[in-house]
Chain A
Amino acid sequence: MSDHAWVQTTHPHPVRTAEVMPPRPPEATGPRPDPGTVPSPGFRPDHRGERRARRSPWRRPWPWTARAACAALACHLAAVVVNCTAGGGIDIGAGGGFTVGSLLVGADAVVLVTVLVRAERRAPAEDTRERER
């Protein structure tokens, strides 16, 4: 019975299957760094000890809070500038109407509320990330 191939057997060690990767061509791996070379001044170690390229603040991805703040500020200043420069109103008839600036102020308020709601929603994730760091 034990000669049958489909009989379940217990092995003292788990069977390991290893796939041997074919050797990669030298052009795929790239040249090996020379241990004697000095890193360029543009590279510096980050908090994990890895070396990465130094980028200016404008090239780095901004945190979403900064982007939201810039959007809110830009919207508000646009409302103010349009109010000051245009001054004209949009007449909706029956004695009612809005200035272009008022509409932008409304848009500004919508941006503020959106940012606030988003901040509230993202807080738990940020907290977890910060704790992990």
Chain B
Amino acid sequence: MSGDFEPRTLSFVLFACFIAVSFLLCILAATDSDDPSEFYIGTGSLGPMQNGLAIAGDYISAATVLSTTGTIAIAGFDGVLITMSTVVSILLFMLVMAGPLCGRGRYTLGDVLAERLSERPARIGTAVLVLAVTMPLLTVQLNGAGDMMSLLIGIPGSASVTGCTLFIGSLMVCYAALGGMKGTGFIQILKTVILLGAFILLAVLVVKRFDWNPASLFGAAADKSGYGDAFWESGRQFGDSVTGKLEVISIQLTLAVGAACLPHITMRLHPIRGARAARSATTWAVGAVAVLGGLIVIVGAGATAIVGTPALRAADPTGTNSLLLLTRALDPEAESAHRSLLFTLVACAVVITTLAAVAGLTLAAAASLAHDVLAKVLLPERLSPVRELAAARAAIVGVGVVAVALAMVTQAWNRQILISFTFTAAASALLPVLLYGTLWRGFTVTGMRWAMYGGLGLTFLTIVFSPAVSGGALAVFPDRDFHWFPLRNPGLITIPAGFLLGWAGSRLGGRPSPEPPSLSGAQGEDAKISRHGRTDRSATGRVRTARREGGGLA
């Protein structure tokens, strides 16, 4: 498909403008002090609206935009349900987790869990989980951004995609390392506004084609889908078999509970202070995501109604390119002049979306490495603030290099499997730990270990032996067949298993010898938390924590 596009001067200019503006914004917002707290939670100065839009920006990834539009265009109502799940997920998460997570002066998820559980296993486990969850998503986003930029500048071939991926990876590292939390926050706000603007424009153009009548739009989509009226019923994505229905339920459950608990989104909650600010941010975030979801439904239906399902499937069986194909079809001059302003604008919006998403993900992964592992476990009390900041920036570079390398290795893979792994692992391992760790006083370190490693291992095992990896035309290894697990998205099994493991580990787990109360390590953290917020752990609290590790609250 890349060969269909010609190089465009307009694209270069507009893309350069987008990059320059976002980079300038990032540098202007960047912290000028050597305080790690400014780097990790620097968005404390943002208002509720800005925080809400930044959360929405972090939440809406390029995968959300491109995949959901494609699923609606290819599978109709199943895609609409996915959009609903996306909105439900952020609402549920903000409602339940905004209170426990916001405004306590924490930097990472490790800080949250280390307050109530034993510090070392909590921080190490969280770092492992954060890396396992963020790296696949980072890889997918970088691949998508490389593809999109290659299309945008009109240079076909895998070498061009590799070069573009490298370029996007370098930009991502610069944004995250220079801007920190505040800089990436401003980029997320910019991205949300640009994305909403681009989708409003597309939706208006689509509805205008059908005489401003949404009913004719959805009718035309059903006619051109090849399914007729059944297009707006469930079952088009995975078929009407029992496995297909279970697959749909599994995806919906995974998205509804797992999409919003990713570490880069939870990190955005830490700087918000007070319930009122949190609720206001919730309204803005959910509102922005809901509006975008509605627009995605219109645009997806428009892709089917204007381009037609056969053409969309021919271009990409997963439908990921539906948005771009629709954009080209909407601009009558796109084919003749190869200077489509609409296409360039939409492609730039998608690239900026990806860029902002990967910057947030990189920051979350690097913060977990530098703060949880290095500053609190490997070198407790021995890392000065300046050196911790330097370590965080070095970790960003390291994460960026690994992510770009992984993106190159997985360039030809079906990206759905990596997205599926990310969301399922987040819902099966991260969510139980987060919910139990903040809301259940009986949660123990054993339960945390069981939920974290058990949920993660189970997710990995079921996905490796699923049809997404082998035994299908779109599988990673299409020529081999070693699958025995029937579902591509194992969330229906792994999510309850993760919660069950957390509960069972806390109730049935052994009683390791309690940690002696020490004044090093955790005490420094305690003092910091006490300064920032209300959390206060004295030595007595530490003893209590150690006792809890043994097997529940005394």
Q: A residues near B, CB below 8 A? A: 41, 44, 54, 57, 63, 65-66, 68-69, 72-73, 76-77, 79-81, 83-85, 87, 89, 99, 101-102, 105, 108-109, 112, 115-116, 119-120, 122-124, 126-127, 129-131, 133
Instruction: Say which residue of A63, A77, A109 sits within 8 Å of B252 (CB atoms).
Output: A77
Kindly report which residue of chain A lies nearest to residue B88, judged by CB atoms.
A76
User: How far, in Å, is B93 (CB) from chain A's closest CB?
Assistant: 8
A76 lies within 8 A of B256 (CB): yes
Q: Does B402 contact A (CB under 8 A)?
A: no
Kindly report which residue of chain B lies nearest to residue A126, judged by CB atoms.
B275
Instruction: Say which residue of A69, A89, A105, A108 sits within 8 Å of B96 (CB atoms).
Output: A69
User: How far, in Å, is B376 (CB) from chain A's closest CB?
Assistant: 27
- Ordered by A's residue number, 22 sampled pairs between the chains whose C-beta atoms are within 8 Å are A57-B442, A63-B99, A68-B95, A69-B91, A69-B95, A72-B88, A73-B256, A73-B257, A76-B84, A76-B256, A77-B249, A83-B81, A101-B77, A102-B77, A112-B88, A115-B95, A116-B283, A119-B283, A123-B278, A126-B279, A127-B276, A131-B274
Q: Does B206 contact A (CB under 8 A)?
A: no
Interface size on B, as a range, is: 35 or more
Q: Does B280 contact A (CB under 8 A)?
A: yes
Instruction: Say which residue of A65, A79, A101 sits within 8 Å of B99 (CB atoms).
Output: A65
Q: B residues near A, CB below 8 A? A: 77, 80-81, 84-85, 87-88, 91-92, 95-96, 99, 232-235, 240, 245, 248-249, 252-253, 256-257, 274-280, 282-283, 286-287, 290, 439-440, 442, 534, 553-554
Kindly report which residue of chain B lies nearest to residue A81, judged by CB atoms.
B249
**B-chain residues with CB within 8 Å of residue A69 when the two chains form the complex:** 91-92, 95-96
Q: How far is the CA of A69 from the CA of B290 in the complex (A)?
A: 16
Per DSSP, chain A at the interface is: helix
A84 lies within 8 A of B249 (CB): yes
Q: How far is the CA of A119 from the CA of B235 in the complex (A)?
A: 34
A44 lies within 8 A of B248 (CB): no
Beyond A73-B92, A73-B257, A124-B276, whether A83 also contacts B77 by CB under 8 A is yes
**A-chain residues with CB within 8 Å of residue B88 when the two chains form the complex:** 72-73, 76, 108, 112
A116 lies within 8 A of B91 (CB): yes
Q: How far is the CA of A129 from the CA of B385 in the complex (A)?
A: 34
A115 lies within 8 A of B91 (CB): yes
**A-chain residues with CB within 8 Å of residue B440 when the two chains form the complex:** 57
Q: How far is the CA of A81 from the CA of B242 in the complex (A)?
A: 12
User: How far, in Å, is B121 (CB) from chain A's closest CB?
Assistant: 23
B87 lies within 8 A of A112 (CB): yes
Beyond A122-B279, A123-B280, whether A108 also contacts B256 by CB under 8 A is no
Kindly report which residue of chain B lies nearest to residue A86, judged by CB atoms.
B234
A126 lies within 8 A of B248 (CB): no
Given contacts A84-B234, A112-B87, A133-B534, list 6 more A-B pairs with CB under 8 A.
A66-B95, A80-B249, A101-B234, A119-B282, A120-B280, A127-B277
Beyond A76-B84, A105-B80, whether A123 also contacts B275 by CB under 8 A is yes
A112 lies within 8 A of B91 (CB): yes
**B-chain residues with CB within 8 Å of residue A73 when the two chains form the complex:** 88, 92, 256-257
User: How far, in Å, is A1 (CB) from chain B's closest CB?
Assistant: 63
B274 lies within 8 A of A119 (CB): no
User: How far, in Å, is A69 (CB) from chain B's closest CB?
Assistant: 5
**A-chain residues with CB within 8 Å of residue B257 when the two chains form the complex:** 73
**A-chain residues with CB within 8 Å of residue B275 when the two chains form the complex:** 123, 126-127, 129-130
Kindly report which residue of chain B lies nearest to residue A101, judged by CB atoms.
B234
A87 lies within 8 A of B233 (CB): yes
B280 lies within 8 A of A116 (CB): no
User: How far, in Å, is A98 (CB) from chain B's closest CB?
Assistant: 9
User: How far, in Å, is A4 (CB) from chain B's closest CB?
Assistant: 61
Instruction: Say which residue of A54, A115, A116, A127 sits within 8 Å of B274 (CB atoms).
Output: A127
B95 lies within 8 A of A119 (CB): yes
**A-chain residues with CB within 8 Å of residue B283 when the two chains form the complex:** 116, 119-120
**B-chain residues with CB within 8 Å of residue A81 when the two chains form the complex:** 249
User: How far, in Å, is B240 (CB) from chain A's closest CB?
Assistant: 8
B554 lies within 8 A of A84 (CB): no
Minimum-distance CB pairs A-B, first 7? A123-B279, A126-B275, A127-B276, A83-B234, A84-B245, A123-B276, A80-B252
**B-chain residues with CB within 8 Å of residue A77 when the two chains form the complex:** 249, 252-253, 256
A119 lies within 8 A of B233 (CB): no
